[in-house]
Structure 1
Amino acid sequence: MNTSNAQPATAVVVGGSTGIGRGIADAWAAHGIETHVFSRSRPTGPGAGRLVWHRLDLRDAEHAKEKLAADMPAHTDLACYSAIYFTSRREPFTQTTESDWLDQFAVNVHGLTWTLRAAMPALRAAGPGLFLHVSSEVVYNAGPHRSGYAATKAAADSLIRSVSQEIEPDEVTFVQTLPTGMVDTPGIRARRPADFDYSGYMTPAAFAPLAVELARTRGRPYSGDVLVVREDATWSSISEALPTSQSRPPTGDHG
């Protein structure tokens, strides 16, 4: 896919080595978009060879800001922020360590801020560029034992909504997306028992059709919207129905 008549499209995915971000990065790369992934770990497995990797640790503020500023492609049509940090298990607010609390803000909020600042000039020049943020149902369903995650994802949602009102949609379109259910990712697997059954979980590939549609349209039909992706890879606006809460009492699988 070539979303620009002038030159091949270029995309950036922060947090694109695994999970939903990887599903989006793979979809863009598979459609001929030069896709750069910024993440702590190098992408591996099928499709990794199509991705341009930049090592990025958002918990190191100075490194992250310098890396994003230096390595952001001068011509960037599409940007996606999918980086995420959550604690190793669900736990009460009073038991969350200060380091975990600060790391959640560093990755889920500050990293998004630094990415917006680094990407905005190129996205505006693309006219319009697309900024896609991977949100979470926790924004709408605050629940017990994940206070840091809820607080930071709500802050990120508010940041995107605010910035989108400062920039004209013919310069940059802002779209958010989130899964309707739990997604099978390495981060989730690290929190589950070895014999856990993932058959009811979504896969990152469910986001591929939406990623392709947003690249094709630069998100124009969905500007300012939050799109909920379902297991069958279809999607709908958050205005149609709020996502189901994934809050539940802690169990042996640590949630």
Structure 2
Amino acid sequence: MVTAPGQDHRRALVVGGSTGIGRGVADAWAAAGLDVTVLSRSAPAGPGADRLRWAATDLTDPDRVTDTLAAAAAEPLHAVCYSAVHYGSGRALFQDCDVSEWRRQIDVNLHGLWLTLDRTLSALRRTESPGVFLGVSSEVVYNAGPGRSGYAASKAAAAALLDSLAQEQTSEAPGAEALRVVQALPAGMVDTPGIRRRRPEDFDYSAYMTPASFGPLARELAATSGAGLHGAHLVVDGDGSWRPVTEAMPVSQSRTLTARTAP
């Protein structure tokens, strides 16, 4: 069920937008006057939640996800953001991960993106100005490291999927000019509920970015439909500024892990 009415002149969709970076994007788009629908397992809460519509969505249930996405894309969409992510229960060597963890990472990080594209691209092409699709990427795409094999593989595949789509939009295909694709990733760790579940209670988050850091870029994309940014991979800094990833590779967040000792 979709709740909480918003503005009605331009519509946006954020998959994985109840918390984290997706929530930062959703709040920025709502503040810019877009009618924003969030698809996520939990409802948006806290300041600004009343400006967001919400539909309960579990990306590991593809049949129901397809129906929910179809309903969200029944009318033209000005902007779509895919921010849903499954990191895993914690960093672990490949030998310590099971197939259920791998499948969940694929379902959320990759297959959910494919389903979202499949159901929303036509709605993005039905707007007067070019629609914009924002994919939330990660430094792990460039810095595969120990303990993150499934996360790295699924996020790298997602980035390649969006790169391929972006190149198709620059071709001579009919309607190609009606859609722009942008990818963005944080320059450092972001203080989110998902990260907090993996940290000690007394952890110091003062050096971490916040989801609001993505607000300026989100507002820029809403205002310009991504003009001049089609196909870009952007690194977003804590102050809200951004730069192309080609200017400097993102800093790796990998760390050395040791093999689990068998009992």
TM-score by length of 1: 0.93
Which sections of structure 1, spanning at least 5 residues, go unmatched? 1-6
1:248 aligns with 2:255: yes
1:110 Cα shift?
A: 0.3
Structure 2 counterparts to residues 129-208 of structure 1, below 5 A: 129-168=131-170, 170-208=177-215
Counterparts of 1:212 and 1:197, CA distance in 2: 29
Q: Any runs of at least 4 consecutive aligned residues in structure 1 with deviations exceeding 6 A, and if so which?
A: none
The Cα offsets for residues 78-110 of structure 1, whole Å up to 9 and x where unpaired, read as: 000000011111000111111110000000000
CA RMSD of aligned residues (A): 1.2
Structure 2 residue 219 is matched with structure 1 residue 228: no
Unmatched segments (≥5 aa) in structure 2: 1-7, 171-175, 259-263
Deviation of 1:197 after TM superposition, in Å, equals 0.4
Within-5 A mapping of 1:1-255 = 8-126=9-127, 127-168=129-170, 170-250=177-257
Amino acid at match of 1:112: L
CA offsets per residue over residues 136-182 of structure 1, 9 Å max, x none? 00000000000000000000000000111222452100000000000
2:14·2:22 contact (CA, 8 Å) conserved in 1?
yes
- The whole-number CA distance in structure 2 between the counterparts of 1:135 and 1:101 is 18
Secondary structure, in 3 states, of the residue corresponding to 1:142?
coil
* Secondary structure of the structure 2 residue equivalent to 1:249: coil
Q: Give the Cα–Cα distance (whole angstroms) in 1 for the partners of residues 253 and 80 of structure 2.
A: 27
Partner-residue secondary structure (3-state), 1:133: strand
Task: Work out the CA distance in 1 between the residues paired with 2:78 and 2:31.
Answer: 16
- Provide the aligned length of Structure 1 versus Structure 2: 245
One-letter identity of the residue aligned with 2:41? R
CA distance in structure 2 between the partners assigned to 1:142 and 1:177 by the alignment: 17
CA distance in 1, matches of 2:52, 2:27: 8
Q: What is the percent sequence identity of the aligned residues? A: 55
CA deviation after TM superposition for structure 1 residue 250, in Å: 4.5
User: Which amino acid in the other structure matches residue 202 of structure 2?
Assistant: D
SS of equivalent residue, structure 2 residue 112: helix
1:243 is aligned with what amino acid? Answer: P
d(CA) in 1 for partners of 2:48, 2:256: 37
SS in 1 for 2:199: coil
Give me the whole-angstrom Cα distance separating, in 2, the residues matched to 1:214 and 1:36: 17
Confirm or deny: 8 A CA contact 2:191 2:208 kept in the other structure: yes
Contact 2:139 2:250 (C-alpha < 8 Å) held by counterparts: yes
User: In the aligned structure 2, how far is the partner of 1:11 from the partner of 1:250?
Assistant: 40
For 2:223, the aligned partner's letter is R
d(CA) in 1 for partners of 2:225, 2:183? 13
Q: CA deviation at 1:71?
A: 2.8
Please report how far the alpha carbon of residue 73 of structure 1 lies from its aligned counterpart in structure 2 after TM superposition.
Answer: 4.2
